[in-house]
Structure 1
Amino acid sequence: MNLNELGLKHSTDKASHGHNYLDLYEELLAPFRDRGNLRIIEIGVHEGASLRVWKDFFPDAQIVGVDIKEACRAHADTSIQIEIGDQGDETFLQSLITKHPADIIVDDGSHFWSHQIDTFRLLFPQMRSGGLFVCEDLLTSRSKWVAAYGRPYTIPAATYFGRLAAQFAAEGFVYGEASDTEMRDLQQQIAWMRFGPGFVAIRKV
């Protein structure tokens, strides 16, 4: 079964009946299928559907689901671990990536701009070389979602990643001016960036 078929089987909203991410995800994730000792972190467990998709697609991977709700521990099994913690807690995120050095991170968590931006800022530099970071649901950066997901940041997550892409494409410079130090450091760790409808995928060097 391909990735979208697995998504439909497990009823994740990443599949074609929902956000329709998985056809493009298959292309992005295919190179990882032959990687040994693969570790995947997904932030946002909900009912565990996408964790089961990753388990079927990467049968030998170690999968870590992260959520704030204790009830999500019910989705743990021999290849899926559950970590309970707040995505907005930087200390928790640091402990997470220290405990579980990751090849793939999927942020499908709170969708708050601050969480989307800071999760990338904190975790991406500590991912394994060649890893892939995906931030989903960038639609919350626009339209009716702004009031619910924008506070306390004034910059939408989609705008942040767009600026990062501009820095990356311009090799650290935009409009002739050097980028800020942190964004320049992040840019230097990026192999490529790819945007899809509602998400961004960033490959680490």
Structure 2
Amino acid sequence: MARAEAKTGTAAPKPGTRRPDLTELANRFGSDKGSDKHRYTELYHMLFQPYRDRKITLMEMGLLIGGPEHGEDPDRETPDLPSIRMWLEYFRNARIIGLDVSDFSWFRHDRFRFVRCDMDSRAQLAKAGDSLPVCDIIIDDASHASHHQQNAFLEMFPRLKSGGLYIIEDLRWQPETYERPRITKTADLFQSYLAERKFAHNDPEVAAAFDALRDDISGCFIHQVRYLKDRKDQIAVIHKR
């Protein structure tokens, strides 16, 4: 399969022209965030519309379906970056950062930067974070392993701007290849914060590390799957004070 080229334009829309919403762009570029699967873009368009024309920095962790969480080699072929191309088209003035354990350095765009990182290692995440600018929006769509999500939040949330949004996707699915036995699930971790304003985790050190960030969290909600009330805990949105 041929690799996709960066074909996102930068010309401003003509006055009076209706710009495509985020769901239309997700479907066009083949992102699973659109209406064909998760429907995350319906929520994101509401959250992100005020940022659309601003010079923000957005980082997404996890750039293509598949990878080690599905038993593939980290050095797999990476023919496309659907969500990154969607973000570049939606946020015409934004810098977009992509982080992944696989190699996407072949993708070239003047507003895109790629960082290779294994989220199994907090040290690698810390090193990656130290090399990056502060972000307005961070989205974790990587392996979905609980400790990966938690490692990433502990290292990257402090690198979020005041007023920024941190989003963790796909809380209801964890890969057998990575998930640790009896680890507190990330959804349960944030539900404990919502209930008690304190993080409960079966590892006291992890709980303490999350609690150390409580004063920087001004709000949090956890959304259900495809807007179905009986399928809770799919996506977390955390706002930084």
**Shorter-chain TM-score category?**
0.7 to 0.9
Q: Is 1:200 equivalent to 2:227 in the alignment? A: no
Alignment of 1:62-141 (within 5 A): 62-70=95-103, 72-100=104-132, 101-140=134-173
SS of aligned partner of 2:167: strand
Q: Which has the larger radius of gyration?
A: 2
1:171-197 per-position Cα deviation (integer Å, ceiling 9, x unaligned): x599xxxxx643333221112112222
| 2:57 alignment counterpart | 39
Secondary structure (helix, strand or coil) at the match of 1:140 reads coil
**Secondary structure in 1 aligned to 2:115?**
strand
SS of 1:86's partner is coil
Q: Distance in 1 between matches of 2:153 and 2:163?
A: 15
SS in 2 for 1:203: strand
Question: Distance between the aligned counterparts of 1:35 and 1:192, measured in 2?
Answer: 23
Q: Could you report, residue by residue, the CA deviation over 1:37-96 in whole angstroms, capped at 9, with x for unpaired residues?
A: x111111111311101111111111101111112x2223321111111111221221122
The change in CA–CA distance for 1:126 and 1:167 in structure 2 (over 3 A counts) is farther
User: 2:183 is matched by which residue type in structure 1?
Assistant: T
- 1:26 counterpart = 2:45: yes
TM-score by length of 2: 0.73
3-state SS, counterpart of residue 92 of structure 1: helix
**Identical columns (%):** 30
Does residue 187 (structure 1) correspond to residue 198 (structure 2)? The answer is: no
Which is richer in helix?
1
Listed as ranges, the gaps of 5+ residues in structure 2 are: 1-19, 65-79, 201-206, 225-233
How many matched pairs? Answer: 191
Q: Are 1:2 and 2:21 an aligned pair?
A: yes
For 2:87 and 2:26, how far apart are their aligned partners in 1?
9
Deviation (angstroms), 1:31? 2.6
CA contact (8 A) 2:171 2:235 kept: yes
Q: Tell me the alpha carbon deviations over residues 119-159 of structure 1, each in whole angstroms, 9 at most, x when there is no partner.
A: 11221122111111100010115xxx6x4553155211111
Q: Against the structure 1 CA distance between its residues 130 and 34, is the aligned structure 2 distance closer, same or farther, given a 3 Å change threshold? A: farther
Question: What corresponds to 1:177 in structure 2?
Answer: none
CA distance in 2, matches of 1:62, 1:196: 27
State which of 149, 160, 167 in structure 1 corresponds to 2:189. 160
1:114 and 1:152 in contact (8 A); partners too? no
Distance change in 2, residues 1:15/1:90 (3 Å): same
Aligned-partner residue type, residue 140 of structure 2: D
Please give the root-mean-square deviation of Cα atoms over the aligned residues, in Å.
2.0
Give the Cα–Cα distance (whole angstroms) in 2 for the partners of residues 149 and 181 of structure 1.
Answer: 23
Q: How far is the alpha carbon of 1:33 from its aligned partner?
A: 2.4
Specify the alignment match of 2:33 in structure 1: 14
| Higher mean displacement: 8-17 or 156-165 | 156-165
